[in-house]
Structure 1
Amino acid sequence: MEQSATLDIESLKITQEQFILASQSLHLQRPGCEAVYPVGLYGWRKRCLYFFLLLLLVTMIVNLALTVWIMKVMNFSVDGMGNLRLEQEGIRLEGISEFLLPLYVNEIRSRRESVLVLQSDKNVTLNARDDRGQLTGQLTVGPEAVEAQCQKLEVRSRDGGRLLFTADEEEVVMTTEKFTVTGSEGAVFGHSVETPLIQTRASEDLRLESPTRTLTMEAPRGVEVSAAKGPLKVSSRKDLQMESTEGEILLDADTIQLGSLPLGVYTASAGQASREQAAYEVCVCPSGKIYLSPAEGSSTCQAMSNICLWS
């Protein structure tokens, strides 16, 4: 027993010595302690990080404070902001509102018992377009004029049923009972005017004139010119022509005066007859010209009078 134990110890020693010799022959080194590197931020890096974190926190606080202040000033709420309110019928604006870009709406309506004012530094333009975006109507209110561009312009009564005025490319129609012109110079028409009645006020005169052209009055059933409480004066620089194609010309008055009518004679003693004659006869030439002729026992009107020959 002791001999076997001694052999084991000896064998262990031999094995240990062999290991030491083998390790020395291979030049193996024992593992030593490795270098320790510190992990983290130290020094000025750490101070810079804390400074940026503090700056970010201050910026967030200032941003939050400004956001709250803007919401308070602009009066933000669940219904809108400021004078703007979102309703089921649309958008409601209180007070004065300014639009810097075009506004596209279906209807603009003011509050009850209040006016709607559209104001601009230059002009106010209202455009109407079709489904393809083409311009169909335009109303421009400018500093010098109000212009309307459309196919037909209509003006209706307050209830919207009665048509008062309409204008298109072919004609202008006024359906009012009375059209009054109060200007001192009256109304000037460049072309023809169709109307059933032209009259003036009771205390004013009615004057129809054409300074450089002719004045023509025509009607399919006749033209009536009357002055109820004053004189009727018709004057012309050249010829005054009254013509009735199918009827007669009637001058009905208590006194009819035709002044400055020429004296028509065919004899050589016209000067003597004109000085001694007290009564004259009114004659009418075939052309319609009126002249005076000395009155005698029978008619002295002659178709061969000098007035008729030179008319």
Structure 2
Amino acid sequence: MEQSTTLDIEALKMTQEQYMLASQSLHLQPPGCGAGGVHPVGLYGWRKRCFYFFLLLLLVIMIVNLALTVWIIKVMNFTVDGMGTLRLNEEGIRLEGISEFLLPLYMKEIRSRGDSPLVLRSEKNVTVNARNSQGQLTGQLTVGLESVEAHCQKLEIHSKEGRLLFSASEEEVSIKTQKLTVTGSEGAVFSHSVETPLILASGASEDLKLESPTRTLTMEAPRGVELSSTRGGLKASGRKDLHFESTEGEILLDASTIRLGSLPLGMYSASKVQASHRQTVFEVCVCPSGKLYLSPAESRSTCQDVSNICLWS
């Protein structure tokens, strides 16, 4: 009897303990959870290891990225004023050293430092273009491997002081220097007329030669043409005719001795050869056509309009 009572008491205690545990579990269960029981929250196992691995990899990438950024800044020499050899200032952009441009460069002005020249280099050619406000090409300068070409309405070259030295346009080419020197062995060749106030030899010991091998050499001036040689002789020769003409003035031959060689002898005598041997003095006669000839000098003039020289001239 006592044993059954003891078993009932123990069963009652176990029932009470189960009821208390069930009540505690009901109170500890978070809101919103179903009746399925408590689920643990967190990363466990291989998920936890992968998470820490990705955190470590992200940290390594950030460190490498920061190191590369610092290295690029160091190598490219980034500063507040610019980068590398490029500097930005109030006047514009300044490049130091050699710079390479792969695309067209648009600038208002390009200049070098005061102590160094400006050098433009290219494997093919260097082309400088000028355009108007509408974008149309108005001028072009091309420096190539074999030639230098300029396309413009007028080309001008000025001195350091701003004085015009050379200008070329479609109408004329003008050289306004004090002296133009041609040092070629063949001299200067002109296909058409040349206008100049003075022609001099290149040096004091050099000869000046004006020659037209196949055509006519003509020298004209509104106030006269002067041919002079201060130190040597002056020679004018032609294959056919040599003309000295003055339309309004005179032709002046001013010298201590004037020689006219190979003038023909005009006379009627049949023994012209014998008379020329006996005659030592002659006078210079002029035909109406202007031809000169010699006539034996006597007490009176022997020049005749009907001389055989004048008749055949």
Q: Of 234, 237, 241, which residue of structure 1 is paired with 2:236?
A: 234
Distance (Å, rounded) in 1 between the aligned partners of 2:37 and 2:310: 148
After superposition, give the CA deviation of every residue in 1:122-159 in whole Å (9 maximum; x if it has no partner): 22222111111111122222232322222122222313
Q: Alpha-carbon deviation of 1:236?
A: 0.6
Q: Alpha-carbon deviation of 1:51?
A: 5.9
Distance (Å, rounded) in 2 between the aligned partners of 1:245 and 1:199: 26
Q: Alpha-carbon deviation of 1:173?
A: 2.3
Alignment partner, residue 153 of structure 1: 155
Q: Alpha-carbon deviation of 1:54?
A: 5.2
Flag the 1:53–1:272 CA change in 2: closer, same or farther, 3 A.
Answer: farther
The answer on whether the counterparts of 1:266 and 1:304 sit within 8 Å (CA) in structure 2 is no
Alignment partner, residue 137 of structure 1: 139
Q: Alpha-carbon deviation of 1:72?
A: 0.9
Root-mean-square deviation over aligned CA pairs: 2.9
After superposition, give the CA deviation of every residue in 1:64-123 in whole Å (9 maximum; x if it has no partner): 322221111010112110000111110011111111221110011111222222222222
Distance (Å, rounded) in 1 between the aligned partners of 2:65 and 2:283: 111
Distance (Å, rounded) in 1 between the aligned partners of 2:173 and 2:197: 15
The answer on whether the counterparts of 1:286 and 1:308 sit within 8 Å (CA) in structure 2 is yes
Alignment partner, residue 284 of structure 1: 286
Matches within 5 A, 1:1-311: 55=57, 57-160=59-162, 162-200=163-201, 201-311=203-313
Identity %: 76
Distance (Å, rounded) in 2 between the aligned partners of 1:256 and 1:208: 23
Calculate the TM-score normalised by the size of structure 2: 0.77
Amino acid paired to 2:165: L
Q: Alpha-carbon deviation of 1:222?
A: 1.1
Distance (Å, rounded) in 1 between the aligned partners of 2:53 and 2:276: 130
Q: Alpha-carbon deviation of 1:270?
A: 3.1
The alignment covers a number of residue pairs equal to 279
Flag the 1:124–1:309 CA change in 2: closer, same or farther, 3 A.
Answer: farther
Flag the 1:39–1:79 CA change in 2: closer, same or farther, 3 A.
Answer: same
The answer on whether the counterparts of 1:281 and 1:292 sit within 8 Å (CA) in structure 2 is yes
- Partner SS state of residue 77, structure 1: coil
Return 5+ residue gaps in structure 1 as ranges. 1-31
Q: Alpha-carbon deviation of 1:279?
A: 2.6
Return 5+ residue gaps in structure 2 as ranges. 1-33
Comparing 279-288 with 132-141, which one deviates more in the overlay? 279-288
Distance (Å, rounded) in 1 between the aligned partners of 2:221 and 2:206: 25
Comparing 101-110 with 49-58, which one deviates more in the overlay? 49-58
Flag the 1:234–1:40 CA change in 2: closer, same or farther, 3 A.
Answer: same
Distance (Å, rounded) in 2 between the aligned partners of 1:273 and 1:144: 72
After superposition, give the CA deviation of every residue in 1:169-226 in whole Å (9 maximum; x if it has no partner): 2122233333333334332222111122222343322221111111111111111111
Distance (Å, rounded) in 1 between the aligned partners of 2:166 and 2:139: 18
